[in-house]
Amino acid sequence: MSLPSVQEPLLNKISGTDQKQVKIPKKIPESLRRTKAINIPNLDETQIIRHFHHLSQRNFGIDTGIYPLGSCTMKYNPKINEEIASWPQFSCLHPHQHESTIQGTLQMMYELENMLSELTGMDAFTLQPAAGAHGEFLGMLLARTYHQNNNDSKRVDVITPDTSHGTNPASISMAGFNVVEIPSTEEGTVDVSLLKKTVSERTACFMLTNPNTLGIFESDILEIADIVHDAGGLLYYDGANMNAIMGKVRPGDMGFDIVHLNLHKTFSSPHGGGGPGSGPIGVSKRLIPFLPVPRIQKKKDTYGFTYDHPQSVGKIKGFYGNVDVLLRAYTYILMMGANGLQKASEIAVLNANYLKKKILEKPGFDLPFRDLRKHEFVLSAEELRKNKKVRAMDVAKRLLDYGVHPPTMYFPLIVKEALMIEPTETEPKNALDEYAQILHKIASEDAEIVKSAPSNTVVGRVDEVNATRNPVLTWKQIKESEK
Ligand SMILES: Cc1ncc(COP(=O)(O)O)c(C=O)c1O
């Protein structure tokens, strides 16, 4: 059956088979106009759907299988979060809407600030930063403004241990401070006596995550806080690892003055691939005046923004932060409740220690530093490198052949051939057992097989450095003759 003739020119244009010049509006400059119709494949709907569906299946995500990226924490994202974030009452809001029309959203943000304050033991929160690193940067600005306000501008150094996350020194330096890195002890923790010698009247802040990136809890934290405070510095908590201690201990009670949280990790919002994040900052009382504006306030039963904070560092994000991420975190916290959050941390720690023990039952990998870990642990594949010339990267690539996601590699830098594994609380025991079995199998495999992995994936080893340094972000059609 032929289509009515009136449809044909339109169909031709859509399918790209119309070689006649298409009428283009005059606003487009001559040099940018297409001279002939684009030669795109002429496919039917079934083929297109199959094509894109297959492409989507090439992606590995937390909904596909275990994804134990240490530090980057890919935990299950409850689907109720997505449903609520997609409600038109939230998804159709415009940031220029009048406050009186967004009372529900403002209430949610106000309550989230209070919940985060309660969970961390801080006195106030801002929800503006769009990621953990953005929160760190704001934290550094707060420290600077605090010291400037005390006429103490000689404080230009920020100390951080060699286990710190890469974003820590980057944020310190972006905010104009000097990075002072101190080596960790043989236990993998802060060297307290070295810290004592390092602090001075130049110290603006000490930046630390606890548990640290090795997954080890810094048990000297109270002494560390005294050392830093006695020297006139502030203590900054990188709270990306808060999922290890929720409901157990609070950074505020440990003596931290500034705290950032990664809502897109601990509080279950999806992330990765550059998706939106949220790195709220909590502070102790003495830093509240410097928090960014606008702040959310409640007057009687009405919520609104206020800019009436003359000592504020100003605005650090367009509008009010990534509200959809805030909403997911709010939903998650309400759904879990205080006991549920505490249990999530307990299971995250249990899972990490269980998996660590399972992997170490057979040869292949070692665990440097102190044994007991919190939410994550860092193995070394150094023995494999020495004995079989198999590197951590090769192990990671071979894991892809077994259909599971590799851990974080080569971080922290103080572990040779590091594999940083964080199973999270949402993995069942059989998934952990299977992961350990796969690692044992890889450790016993022929070195050449591991070194040439992956062999089952659509894409083999890519030139990652080149891809990062010279990204090709446009698509160029390759002509048949050039293939
Ligand atoms: C310990 C730690 N600090 C900071 C960050 C930075 O967070 P974001 O990736 O949201 O900038 C991360 C993220 O991986 C982290 O694991």
Domain assignment present for 252: yes
Q: Of the candidates 364, 247, 292, 273, which has an alpha carbon nearest to the alpha carbon of residue 145?
A: 292
What is the CA(72)–ligand 1 centre distance, in A? 7
CATH number, residue 226: 3.40.640.10
Domain assignment present for 210: yes
Q: Is the pLDDT of residue 10 over 80?
A: no
What is the CA(279)–ligand 1 centre distance, in A? 9
Give the residue numbers spanning the domain of 428: 340-462
Q: Say yes or no: 161 and 268 in one domain.
A: yes
Q: Say yes or no: 306 and 395 in one domain.
A: no
Q: Is the pLDDT of residue 6 over 70?
A: no
Q: Say yes or no: 92 and 181 in one domain.
A: yes
Q: Say yes or no: 315 and 359 in one domain.
A: no
Q: Say yes or no: 306 and 366 in one domain.
A: no
CB-ligand 1 contact for 71 (6 Å cutoff): yes
CB-ligand 1 contact for 241 (6 Å cutoff): yes
CB-ligand 1 contact for 209 (6 Å cutoff): yes
Residue tagged 């759904």 (tokens)? 335
Q: Tell me the best of 260, 262, 271, 408 to mutate to test the pocket of ligand 1, counting ligand atoms within 8 Å of each CB and taking the most.
A: 262
Strands 258-261 and 281-283: antiparallel
Give the whole-angstrom CA distance, residue 70 versus residue 355: 13
Q: What is the mean pLDDT of residues 444-469?
A: 92
Give the whole-angstrom CA distance, residue 277 versus residue 326: 9
Q: Say yes or no: 178 and 291 in one domain.
A: yes
- Tens-place pLDDT, residues 85-140: 999 999 999 999 999 999 999 999 999 999 999 999 999 999 999 999 999 999 99
Among the candidates 282, 301, 336, a domain finishes at 336
Using CA positions, which residue lies closest to atom 14 of ligand 1? Answer: 72
Q: How confident is the model at residue 306 (pLDDT cuts 50, 70, 90)?
A: very high
- 314 CB-contact burial (10 Å; exposed 0-12 / middle 13-18 / buried 19+): exposed
* Helix, strand, coil tally for the chain in percent (to 5): 40, 10, 45
Q: What is the mean pLDDT of residues 250-275?
A: 89
- 335 CB-contact burial (10 Å; exposed 0-12 / middle 13-18 / buried 19+): middle
Q: What is the mean pLDDT of residues 336-353?
A: 97
Q: What is the mean pLDDT of residues 9-38?
A: 66
Residue 5: the pLDDT is: 46
Q: How confident is the model at residue 22 (pLDDT cuts 50, 70, 90)?
A: low
CA–chain centroid gap for 387, Å, is 35
Q: Is the pLDDT of residue 1 over 60?
A: no
CB-ligand 1 contact for 376 (6 Å cutoff): no
Residue 94: the pLDDT is: 93
Q: Say yes or no: 265 and 414 in one domain.
A: no
Q: Say yes or no: 280 and 380 in one domain.
A: no
Q: What is the mean pLDDT of residues 179-184?
A: 97
Q: Is the pLDDT of residue 4 over 70?
A: no
Domain assignment present for 402: yes
Strands 234-239 and 258-261: parallel
DSSP state string for 292-324: PSPEEEEETTEEEEE---TT-----SSTTS-HH
Q: What is the mean pLDDT of residues 237-241?
A: 95
Residue 39: the pLDDT is: 79
- Total domains in the fold of the chain: 3
Task: State pTM to two decimals.
Answer: 0.88
Q: What is the mean pLDDT of residues 262-272?
A: 87
Residue 2: the pLDDT is: 44
| pLDDT, the chain, mean | 92
Q: Say yes or no: 344 and 265 in one domain.
A: no
Domain assignment present for 11: yes
- Spatial CB neighbours of 412, under 8 Å, sequence gap ≥ 6: 162, 163, 164, 213, 214, 378, 418, 420
Domain assignment present for 10: yes
Q: Say yes or no: 297 and 159 in one domain.
A: yes
Domain assignment present for 345: yes
Q: How confident is the model at residue 273 (pLDDT cuts 50, 70, 90)?
A: low
Q: Say yes or no: 314 and 393 in one domain.
A: no
Q: What is the mean pLDDT of residues 383-389?
A: 97
Using CA positions, which residue lies closest to atom 10 of ligand 1? Answer: 132
CB-ligand 1 contact for 262 (6 Å cutoff): yes
**Which of 74 and 283 is assigned the larger pLDDT?**
283
Share of the chain above pLDDT 90, in %: 79
Q: What is the mean pLDDT of residues 345-374?
A: 95
Domain assignment present for 54: no
Residue 36: the pLDDT is: 84
Q: How confident is the model at residue 34 (pLDDT cuts 50, 70, 90)?
A: confident
Q: b/e map of 191-201 (b: 16 or more CB within 10 Å)?
A: beeebeebbee
Domain assignment present for 219: yes
Among the candidates 336, 363, 392, a domain finishes at 336
Residue 187: the pLDDT is: 93
Give the whole-angstrom CA distance, residue 84 versus residue 63: 19
CATH number, residue 344: 3.90.1150.10
What is the CA(393)–ligand 1 centre distance, in A? 21
φ, ψ of residue 334 to 5 degrees: the values are -65, -40
CB count within 10 Å of CB 27 equals: 5
Q: Say yes or no: 133 and 266 in one domain.
A: yes
Using CA positions, which residue lies closest to atom 16 of ligand 1? Answer: 71
Among the candidates 307, 336, 365, a domain finishes at 336
- Tens-place pLDDT, residues 387-414: 999 999 999 999 999 999 999 999 899 9
Residue 12: the pLDDT is: 52
Residue 13: the pLDDT is: 53
